[in-house]
Structure 1
């Protein structure tokens, strides 16, 4: 299986991209979460100039954050700096919207956005709508300004629901998911994508040579001899995924209580403790301000008790070398093409472990 890494967009991230390329990793991604991290287009511009081989991804942007013309201009500009190396993840904007106190957009709007990006980034006209006004648009400044000749890889963010996977199938794109380590769930997503593709019209692929790969974002900790898989080191390296899930459950507890209920009583209690520690409630209108600071950053020592073993096992890869390779092989058989990790403790060292593990 291929390997890549995901980081928060910030100045200096290009140094990590250079190291990832030196280690032979396949891709380097940054998040598009405006009120939490820096701008991904700025960050990837720095990475594009500092590297020559590694693929560069945005994971993920959304029509609820950016208009299609603005996003396409950023993508095609990156493609001019790093021809053929750009990957664009698109989604409903779940986290990035919730950090603004807003809800994500719809699958229908996501599909319209994906269509427009595919058309524009391949140099084609597309339909652009504002209210009742609809116009055809295309790049008027191609050539030396943006690159529409080399393909950009598009992937749609999907969890367990079939709608996003259906968009991927109809649009001929790949898939990306976060913390989804269940092979059965991956097979279901691939089945949905395949069926949607079979029912779609011909000629929907974004660009000749475009890909439809599957990526899973997780975290990884290789255990030392005799190390406790639920010890502080393992929780510090991977607990940010658990905290992100608990924050989501806390944020949506009032509007979708079924999600928190599915996590079980122990997790529901952890959600309540998280709300109490952050000084907010499940119905406070400003709870997003309290829940999302340091989102996907290294967890604080006082929050280690919130990293429940059951959630850690479900969301992260922790084990000996043989145990990790066995879980990764199972994901590969389920159709996952690339493993993306989010290092937070010692990124260079964690990237080196990943590279050695999958060498």
Structure 2
């Protein structure tokens, strides 16, 4: 890679069949992972997309980014991932979370931690082809896939389990059950170092290996490569990172609404206006408003909230040399993969620039 860093680069894809060529292009450019998103009321079905991607690619790692525990039983998720692993043996992974967006869009809270703990325990066993005691509707019985060697599913090799986590309780479950972490920390070495430290501490407490190689950490963000003399809040940069930046407002609003948590300090100046804009929608329909355009585009009412500070706090924006330096610092702090989620209209331009400046100085010919 041009920066000399060991950093891996992935893409997160808002699942849509018409964008399968985007996954193919990411593979051509040297991206290592494609995380296909699962959110049933805004995007297409993630497993249909993964099947298409498996058929069209040959090297890129394919998985859910992330699957929603609250909308599919653990055996259903295991069978779905096992099917993709049959189509793309050894390059399938499972990202799983409580459903921060997918559940809230339906007016429900994400899965509770105790339920997520049980879900992860069952899912991990099933992904390893093991029999496990499973409770459904108050009845417990042993379950296992009965025909794992007959072409239906593949659990050898077992798809790695990446747990989505942000807070201390979810991080503890990631350390206990996961093979890796998928999160979305600010692209700041101190934040990465803190999260890596928490994971290492909890892995040790659970008697699990603590070395970095045993537990990779990936974070969701996006990148804009500046042109000479360009400002970090230019119109072009806003087009490339605005959807991801404004999604941070969506998340902060949900945290305030559910838990009463104050927004980060850098949102203070705009927060009152943003809350007022969201709460123009009646409470009983607000879940249909909060995540409009989620990581795909910015709705007109929210364009005014994409400030220079919001961009710089949530995204990696800089000159090629700046970005190489910052990526190396994130690598040193304990980050293993940067997962890019650019908006739909600019996604090809974003990954082309990242491939050119950070992955390889000479992308292969078409």
Give the TM-score normalised by the residue count of structure 1: 0.91
Q: What residue number does 2:152 align with?
A: 145
Q: 1:258 aligns with which of 249, 258, 261?
A: 261
1:102 to 1:129, Cα distance in 2 relative to 1, 3 A:
same
Q: Secondary structure at the match of 1:258?
A: coil
Q: What residue number does 1:95 align with?
A: 101
Q: Secondary structure at the match of 1:84?
A: coil
Write the distance in 2 (CA, Å) between the matches of 1:119 and 1:267: 46
1:261 positional shift: 6.6
1:122 corresponds to 2:96: no
Summarize the alignment of residues 182-197 of structure 1 with structure 2, pairs less than 5 Å apart: 182-197=188-203
Q: What residue number does 1:350 align with?
A: 350
Write the distance in 2 (CA, Å) between the matches of 1:163 and 1:302: 35
Q: What residue number does 2:281 align with?
A: 280
- Tell me, yes or no, if the aligned pair for 1:156 and 1:175 is still in contact at 8 Å: yes
Q: What residue number does 2:239 align with?
A: 236
Q: What residue number does 2:334 align with?
A: 335
1:196 to 1:251, Cα distance in 2 relative to 1, 3 A:
closer
1:200 positional shift: 2.0
- Tell me, yes or no, if the aligned pair for 2:164 and 2:182 is still in contact at 8 Å: yes
Q: Could you list the per-position Cα deviations for residues 269-326 of structure 1 after superposition, in whole angstroms to 9, with x for gaps in the alignment?
A: 34235416xx415xx0210112223211122456332112222111101111111112
Q: Secondary structure at the match of 2:262?
A: helix
Runs (5+) with no aligned partner, structure 2: 1-6, 361-366
Give the TM-score normalised by the residue count of structure 2: 0.89
Write the distance in 1 (CA, Å) between the matches of 2:207 and 2:263: 39
Q: 2:43 aligns with which of 34, 37, 44?
A: 37
Report how many residues are paired: 348
Write the distance in 1 (CA, Å) between the matches of 2:189 and 2:109: 29
Q: Could you list the per-position Cα deviations for residues 321-352 of structure 1 after superposition, in whole angstroms to 9, with x for gaps in the alignment?
A: 11111221111111111111112233222211
Q: Could you list the per-position Cα deviations for residues 257-278 of structure 1 after superposition, in whole angstroms to 9, with x for gaps in the alignment?
A: 32337554213134235416xx
Deviates more, 1:187-196 or 1:267-276: 267-276
Q: Could you list the per-position Cα deviations for residues 42-73 of structure 1 after superposition, in whole angstroms to 9, with x for gaps in the alignment?
A: 10100001011100121112321210010001
Q: Could you list the per-position Cα deviations for residues 197-241 of structure 1 after superposition, in whole angstroms to 9, with x for gaps in the alignment?
A: 2222579xxxxxx95211111111111111121111111111112
Write the distance in 1 (CA, Å) between the matches of 2:54 and 2:241: 28
How much is the aligned-residue C-alpha RMSD, in angstroms?
2.0
Runs (5+) with no aligned partner, structure 1: 204-209
Q: Secondary structure at the match of 2:66?
A: strand
Q: Which runs of 4+ in 1 moved over 6 A?
A: none
1:166 positional shift: 1.3
Q: Could you list the per-position Cα deviations for residues 114-145 of structure 1 after superposition, in whole angstroms to 9, with x for gaps in the alignment?
A: 22122111110112112431111000121211
Summarize the alignment of residues 40-119 of structure 1 with structure 2, pairs less than 5 Å apart: 40-119=46-125
1:269 corresponds to 2:272: yes
Q: What residue number does 2:252 align with?
A: 249
Deviates more, 1:292-301 or 1:140-149: 292-301
Write the distance in 1 (CA, Å) between the matches of 2:309 and 2:264: 15
- Tell me, yes or no, if the aligned pair for 2:295 and 2:342 is still in contact at 8 Å: no
Write the distance in 1 (CA, Å) between the matches of 2:11 and 2:178: 24
1:294 to 1:74, Cα distance in 2 relative to 1, 3 A:
same
- Tell me, yes or no, if the aligned pair for 1:247 and 1:271 is still in contact at 8 Å: no
Write the distance in 2 (CA, Å) between the matches of 1:323 and 1:302: 32
Write the distance in 2 (CA, Å) between the matches of 1:262 and 1:199: 33
Q: What residue number does 1:221 align with?
A: 224
Write the distance in 1 (CA, Å) between the matches of 2:273 and 2:295: 17
